[in-house]
Amino acid sequence: MDSYQIHALLRVHTDAGNGLEAGLWQEIADRWRCLGRRCHPWQLIAYNLGLLAPDRAAAGRMFKDSLSLCLSREGGPTIQVMALLPLARLHAGGHHLDGMETMVRQALEPVRDNLLSADHFASLMQTEAWADLLTTVQRDTALLFPYSYR
């Protein structure tokens, strides 16, 4: 399977809420490690692997990988703001990273710079505390990211 097919498979399983057989999860995670990841859709593959992970530690690793790709800026402003997704999951899962507040601000730069719709992300831009902002992302993921980015 190519990267877009892997993403589609993971997205179907994530949206269905039926999990992923452990062997298949491990096979995709192993493939993730050996393939030349650059950016889109690898940030989504890592994010969805995190959602489907068999344990908290594996989820944390995948969310951190997704975060790294989103903040690499290789994918442009749309992918940069998607860093809020793994940040919200890391925060909710108790994986607190040094510089998390700075990463939240970095993820929102495209909105502040008018590269993405300020109206669409208004609820986030009006939230002062970064932890509250991540809680909002966690709660309103489908509203904030209604496209195939989750």
| Mean pLDDT, each 10-residue run in order, the chain (150 residues) | 84 84 84 66 90 93 93 88 96 92 96 95 94 96 77
Has residue 48 been placed in a domain?
yes
Tokens standing for residue 97: 């990273």
Has residue 65 been placed in a domain?
yes
Residue 100's CB is within 10 A of a number of other CB atoms, namely: 17
Has residue 121 been placed in a domain?
yes
Q: What is the pTM of this model?
A: 0.89
DSSP annotation string for 37-56: --STTHHHHHHHHHHT-SSH
> Which structural domain, as residue segments, surrounds residue 64?
3-144
If one counts the domains in the chain, the total is 1
Has residue 149 been placed in a domain?
no
Sign of CA dihedral 136, 61, 47, 76: positive
Has residue 112 been placed in a domain?
yes
